[in-house]
Amino acid sequence: MFSNEAIKRMALQRCTSIEFIITEKCQNACKYCYRVKKHALSPYDMLDPEHLRLYIRKLKEMFGDDVFRNREVELFGGDPLLDYDHTCKILEVLDQEVSDEIIYIGMPTNGRLLQEITMHDIEHLLSKTKVPVGFSFSVDVIDTVQRNLSNTGSYLSYNEEINLDMLIKLAKEGGHGFHPMLDFSTIDKWFDQFKTFFDAGVRPYLLEVRHPLSKEQAIEAVRQMVRIRYYIDKHDPKSLRHMNTIAASTVPRGLGCSAHTSLCITIDGKIPFCHRVLDPPWICGNLLTGDLNLSKFVFFKAGFDHRNHVACLTCPVRFACTGQCAGASYEYWGDPWTPIESICNYTKLKIFVMTNLFPDWITLLTESVQAGRFYKQGLVDEIDRIFGYSNVMQLIEELKTWQKEDLI
């Protein structure tokens, strides 16, 4: 019989990173960001570096001395680069406590702080730890989707404009990445955003903001994705393997989002389902009290597979779908497990179109007996029901001419 300690450690095996929310404030007020409302309401500004030290030690008490070994640490927000001195102190604590155990420190950031300090300051920041540090810039480049400053950003006197050239230079020199958010309200700008980074020598991480959308938006989103795919195939096909949303791929873990692979710690030391699902019913532990609800923890980290939801059991793309963001579903339904139907429809359309245009997508759905059987039985019928089969085939023929006529 497995002990509770063994079960706890087995549930943690899937986690490749430990994520600390070090601030709940951000310089930006992006209209699609799930945290904007919480920023205004949150009583927490920044995590005290000594509290971080305490959390690290409590994690070792709860999960074992090797809990950080060969894992990454993610510093999350808000924006983890809200205040220069604070981030320096956070990195110092990580270096003192776990630098010989962790393999990488990642910081998703809007980049606003980095463009307002000198290169010497950036080098000083990175020197605070021996561990490699990587930034992932969430930056929009199209005027119509330029991110507005939040009240916090204005209060801290940040500049409204984004110095994209400086961030691109920093990314290329330091091996950092870009993570432009492909918002459904600005679908017609997706290719332009991608091309700006791609032509500058940066290979951005692409991700649709997975909120509800109309059928018309789904069709335009697929157009944009195909255009991006054609452009990559033409100019740098080797980079396709790094493109997460237009290369054929599946997710072997139960969820497509990072909830199953990250152990998140809030500013006040709680262990939530993920950095987006933070309400009390979705808290499974508390580092300060040492409490851990083992059944919740196991279910949150290893017990759910999106393919087994009742809405997915007979879906024709069940074994090819990467799933949805549990946090977005939670905010939409009050339930992180139930998928948003319009996003399901978009996924079906995207897979159907891609399999009619690109061989790697065909292989994705036919090399697996399970995937192939489900795909052949029902996807055509689903496409006809949702979008109209003849309409979609007409779209596919149009997209084929894009490649032939070199309209990319």
Taking alpha carbons only, the member of 136, 165, 13 closest to residue 77 is 136
Chain length of the chain: 408
User: Do 165 and 94 belong to one domain?
Assistant: yes
Asked, for residue 394, whether it belongs to a domain, the answer is yes
Burial letters 322-348, b for 16+ CB under 10 A, else e: bbbbbbbbbbbeeebbbbbebbbbbbb
pLDDT of residue 17: 95
358 with 238, same domain: the answer is yes
Pair (23, 57) in one structural domain? yes
pLDDT, position 259 = 83
On whether residue 186 sits in a domain, the answer given is: no
Q: Are residues 256 and 345 in the same domain?
A: no
Is residue 295, in this structure, part of any structural domain at all?
Answer: no
Are the CB atoms for 302 and 56 separated by under 8 Å?
no
Judge if 254 and 332 occupy the same domain. no
Tell me: do 255 and 324 sit in the same domain: no
The number of distinct structural domains making up the chain is: 2
Check pLDDT > 80 for residue 292.
yes
Q: Does one domain contain both 167 and 134?
A: yes
pLDDT of residue 371: 52
Written as six digits, the tokens of 275 are 């950095």
- Whether residue 220 is found in the same domain as residue 254: no
Q: Dump pLDDT digits (tens) for 100-129.
A: 999 999 999 999 999 889 999 999 999 999
- Residues 227, 94, single domain; the answer is no
Give the domain extent around 313. Answer: 215-243+305-408
Structure tokens at 359: 């061989």
Half-sphere exposure of 389 (CA within 13 A, CB side): 7
Structural domain contains residue 191: no
Instruction: Please give the model's pTM, rounded to 2 decimal places.
Output: 0.91
Q: What is the mean pLDDT of residues 142-156?
A: 65
Residue 141 has pLDDT above 70, yes or no: no
Residue 298, domain member (yes or no) = no
Task: Judge contact between 157 and 113, C-beta under 8 A.
Answer: no
Element (H, E) at 154: helix 151-155
Contact at 8 Å (CB) between 138 and 168?
Answer: no
- What is the token pair recorded at 265? 């710690």
- pLDDT recorded at residue 373: 55
Q: Is residue 17 situated within a structural domain?
A: yes
Shared domain check, 220 and 134: no
Q: Does one domain contain both 52 and 122? A: yes
